[in-house]
């Protein structure tokens, strides 16, 4: 583990990462801070035992990567925790309950069809040949949020395999549809395809695409992640750019290169896919606006998804795109760098901590007094609306793509807001 050692040694123990770490903010303990976790990894690397308490501190990490942004020494905590999680999965026997919960989550989430089955009434759960009880319990607030947010199945449009550019063609791009996004926020995908087309792109939406592997990758399920990744690489072999509208998926795909480093057969293709992956906002900002924006008189609170802001460094672009809409005012949410607690499947594995973080985020969102919350990750959207609901509040939520789509198509404020 030469590389692991080197990555560890980059940490100079300055503590600059502490205040942006959500678990340090919650509990104020060294071993639940990035610096402390790196110390624990260092102990392991030096032959220390992998105890239950050590595993607990790794498990509590949300993988939000706020520490990567904060670190002046360039410590690759993302790589460190990924490698550590893989080791934990290999070497640490989990209790039956924990195992079942994890199995259940991973038997469902990466598979759009199974996710869809969960959307129906309870009877659907039994069809899955799994001990789902613990999952369902934790899932129920999230499912309830999904129910509230998802349009009725009638509105569920299937996207064609190719959407032609409006006007003169400026680019040909592949589009990832994602699992959660596709099943629960189909409107986001159609808006994305439309915006891309209206901005002059031919949009290729390969039929065979599945999960990109983000959830598995961020939870230490290495083999599973690689299998998903290989399929995704294949699916997008024929396009030069892959546009992704879900932050978690984009960051995982940009990481493929590192995941397959050293794999003779796949390293090259993986690096290629990473290099051509773009977040939607990133891509649109690079491309520059062409379609006319119609006014939308809205005050919008923009939420930085961790996997967009911290993992991909995409902060300015979505704000600029939104700010470019006449009449629209972008408001900042306090403590933008602190995770909302969604973090992939974290809110299912650690409902309490996630709940507290969600509550903090909801409070800060409410304080902006905005008409609309914009978040570019389905997990964040579900998490924050669940937290708002618990506080008895409601703010309409949209994806950056949907706001742009509404503006370009000239859908007025009233009808745009009333739909959500």
Partner 1 sequence: MARLDGLAGRLREIVGAESVITDPAELRTYDCDGLTYHRATPGIVVLPDTAEQIAAIVRACAADGVPYVARGSGTGLSGGALPRTDGVLIVTSRMRRVLAVDAANQRAIVEPGVINLDVTRAARPYGYYFAPDPSSQQVCSIGGNVAENSGGAHCLKYGFTVNHVLACEVVTPDGEIVELAEGPGYDLLGAFVGSEGTLGITTKVTVRLTRLPETVQTLLAGFDTIERAGEAVSAIIAAGVVPAAIEMMDALSIEAAEAAVRCGYPPGAGAVLIVELDGPASEVDAQFARVKELCGEAFEIRVAADDTERGLIWRGRKSAFAAVGRISPDYIVQDGVIPRTTLPEVLARIDALAREHGVRVANVFHAGDGNLHPLVLFDGAEPGAGERAEEVSGRIIDLCIEHGGSITGEHGVGIDKAKYMPRMFTDEDLDTMQMVRCAFDPAGLCNPGKVYPTPRLCGEVPGRRTGVHPLVESGKADLF
How many CB atoms are closer than 10 A to CB 184? Answer: 26
Q: To the nearest whole angstrom, how small is the minimum distance from the Cβ of residue 22 to ligand SF4?
A: 5
Given ligand SF4, partner 1, none, residue 140, with its beta carbon under 5 to 8 Å by kind, binds none
Total number of residues binding ligand SF4 (CB under 6 A)?
A: 27
Binding mask 68-107 vs partner 1 (x if CB under 8 A, - otherwise)?
A: ---xxxx---------------------------------
CA distance 62 to 356: 13
Q: Which of 7, 8, 17, 340 binds ligand SF4 (CB under 6 A)?
A: 17
Q: To the nearest whole angstrom, how small is the minimum distance from the Cβ of residue 52 to ligand SF4?
A: 19
Q: How far does the chain reach from its first CA to its final CA, in angstroms?
A: 50
Q: Which of residues 51-70 bind ligand SF4 (CB under 6 A)?
A: 61-67, 70
Enclosing H/E stretch for 418: helix 413-418
Enclosing H/E stretch for 172: strand 171-175
Per rule CB under 8 A, is residue 367 in the interface with partner 1?
no
Given ligand SF4, partner 1, none, residue 28, with its beta carbon under 5 to 8 Å by kind, binds partner 1
Q: To the nearest whole angstrom, how small is the minimum distance from the Cβ of residue 18 to ligand SF4?
A: 7
Residue placing its CB nearer to partner 1 in the complex, 72 or 121: 72
Residue with tokens 């057969």: 265
- DSSP characters over 61-74: -----HHHHH-TT-
Per rule CB under 8 A, is residue 47 in the interface with partner 1?
no
Q: To the nearest whole angstrom, how small is the minimum distance from the Cβ of residue 70 to partner 1?
A: 8
| Binding segment toward partner 1, per CB under 8 A, in 15-23, 134-142, 221-229, 309-317 | 15-23
* CB-CB contact of 78 with 65 (8 Å): yes
Q: Which of 1, 6, 9, 14 binds ligand SF4 (CB under 6 A)?
A: 14
Per rule CB under 8 A, is residue 288 in the interface with partner 1?
no
Q: 34-45 vs 52-60: helix axis angle to the nearest 10?
A: 140
Q: Residue 294 phi/psi, 5° resolution? A: -95, 155
CA distance 94 to 88: 9
Q: Which of residues 22-51 bind ligand SF4 (CB under 6 A)?
A: 22-23, 34-35, 37-38
Q: To the nearest whole angstrom, how small is the minimum distance from the Cβ of residue 306 to partner 1?
A: 19
Q: To the nearest whole angstrom, how small is the minimum distance from the Cβ of residue 331 to partner 1?
A: 16
* CB-CB contact of 377 with 305 (8 Å): yes
Given partner 1, ligand SF4, none, residue 375, with its beta carbon under 5 to 8 Å by kind, binds none
C-alpha separations of 224 from 161, 255, 356, 390 in Å: 26, 15, 30, 35
Per rule CB under 6 A, is residue 13 in the interface with ligand SF4?
yes
Per rule CB under 8 A, is residue 10 in the interface with partner 1?
yes
CA-based nearest residue to 339, from 293, 371, 383, 394:
383
Per rule CB under 8 A, is residue 14 in the interface with partner 1?
yes
Q: Could you give the strand order of the β-sheet that contains 298-303, starting from the edge strand earlier in sequence?
A: 328-332, 298-303, 372-375, 397-398
C-alpha separations of 74 from 7, 16, 58, 61 in Å: 9, 12, 20, 19
Positions touching partner 1 (CB under 8 A) are 9-16, 18-19, 24, 27-31, 35-36, 39-40, 43, 48-49, 51, 53-54, 57, 71-74
Positions touching ligand SF4 (CB under 6 A) are 11-17, 20-23, 34-35, 37-38, 61-67, 70-71, 73, 75, 77
């Amino acid at each position: 583990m030469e590389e692991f050692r080197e990555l560890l040694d980059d940490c100079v123990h300055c503590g600059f990462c502490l205040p942006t770490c959500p678990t340090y903010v919650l509990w104020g303990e060294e071993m639940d801070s990035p610096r402390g976790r790196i110390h624990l990894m260092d102990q392991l690397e030096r032959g220390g035992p992998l105890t239950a308490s050590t595993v607990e501190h790794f498990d509590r990490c949300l993988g939000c990567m706020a520490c990567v942004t904060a670190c002046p020494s360039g410590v690759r905590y993302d790589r460190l925790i990924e490698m550590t999680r893989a080791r934990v999965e290999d070497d640490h026997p989990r209790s039956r309950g924990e195992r079942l919960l994890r199995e259940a989550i991973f038997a469902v989430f990466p598979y759009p069809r199974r996710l869809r089955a969960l959307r129906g009434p309870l009877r659907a759960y039994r069809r899955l040949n799994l001990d789902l009880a613990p999952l369902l319990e934790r899932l129920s607030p999230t499912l309830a949020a999904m129910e509230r947010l998802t349009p009725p199945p009638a509105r569920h449009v299937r996207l064609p395999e190719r959407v032609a550019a409006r006007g003169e063609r400026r680019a040909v791009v592949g589009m990832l549809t994602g699992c959660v996004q596709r099943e629960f926020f189909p409107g986001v995908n159609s808006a994305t395809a439309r915006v891309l087309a209206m901005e002059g792109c031919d949009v290729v939406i390969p039929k065979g695409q599945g999960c990109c592997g983000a959830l598995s990758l961020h939870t230490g399920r290495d083999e599973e992640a690689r299998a998903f990744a290989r399929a995704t690489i294949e699916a997008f072999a024929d396009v030069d750019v892959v546009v992704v509208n879900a932050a978690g998926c984009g960051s995982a795909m940009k990481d493929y290169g590192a995941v397959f480093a050293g794999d003779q057969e796949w390293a090259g293709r993986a690096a290629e896919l990473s290099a051509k992956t773009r977040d939607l906002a990133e891509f649109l900002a690079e491309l520059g606006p062409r379609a006319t924006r119609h006014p939308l008189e809205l005050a919008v609170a923009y939420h930085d998804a961790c996997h967009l802001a911290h993992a991909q460094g995409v902060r300015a672009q979505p704000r600029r795109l939104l700010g470019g809409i006449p009449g629209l005012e972008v408001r900042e949410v306090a403590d933008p760098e602190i995770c909302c607690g969604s973090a992939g499947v974290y809110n299912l594995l650690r409902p309490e901590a996630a709940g507290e973080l969600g509550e903090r985020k909801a409070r800060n969102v409410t304080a902006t007094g905005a008409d609309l919350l914009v978040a570019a990750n389905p997990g964040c959207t579900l998490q924050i609306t669940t937290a708002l609901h618990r506080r008895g509040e409601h703010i309409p939520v949209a994806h950056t793509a949907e706001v742009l789509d509404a503006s370009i198509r000239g859908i007025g404020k009233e009808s745009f807001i009333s739909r959500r």
